[in-house]
Amino acid sequence: MIPALVARALALAEARGFRHSSCLEAGMLLHALASTVTDGRIGEIGTGCGVGTAWMVSALQPNVGCVTIDSDAQLVAAVRDVFANQPAVQVLHGDWRALAAHGPFQLLFADGGNAKMTHPDEVLRLVAIGGLLVLDDLTPEQYWPEEWRGKPDPLRTYWLRHEQVSAIEVRLAERHAAIIAARVR
């Protein structure tokens, strides 16, 4: 069942022709993980139309807040309307690094943009020790273009082998995978 808040965000994405929202399975994963956070904040890099945010917010516990940020001012304004009746949610416009002022996060969804690839150390610092980081939009290797096959994937190598996280890659759907990384130090 799709929560009402998720349906609102999906309707916004449809109306805007936004095709980069998280897949259903990623949303369900975010919903499950967000439900385990009992205190503190969850965060998101790359709000888009708020679909991932809506999955997480639909599972928020009473003592948990959510902060999401996007660099697209028009999308941020529209998403603020989606979450207008959600006092625990802040939708920010700006560079993803501004999240640092709101962290550390018990759960961080590094979705939009390239921060998870270009600035992974900075992204990791946004996560509390004991907190979780979710990276989606990964393509299982069997579906890689021919020119990628047999080559290392720097994003996977970094996150799956980093000494400060315990991480696993999980298949969400046939062509979608995600990394879940728990920050251990």
6-50 pLDDT, tens digit per residue, is 999 999 999 999 999 999 999 999 999 999 999 999 999 999 999
Domain total of the chain: 1
What is the predicted pLDDT for the residue at 141? 87
pTM: 0.95
Distance CA 181, CA 159 (A): 7
The C-alpha atoms of residue 108 and residue 4 are separated, in whole angstroms, by: 22
User: What stretch of H or E contains 70?
Assistant: strand 64-70
* CATH code at position 68: 3.40.50.150
Query: How long, in residues, is the chain?
Result: 185
**Per-residue pLDDT for 138 more than 90?**
yes
Q: Provide the domain limits for residue 28.
A: 4-183
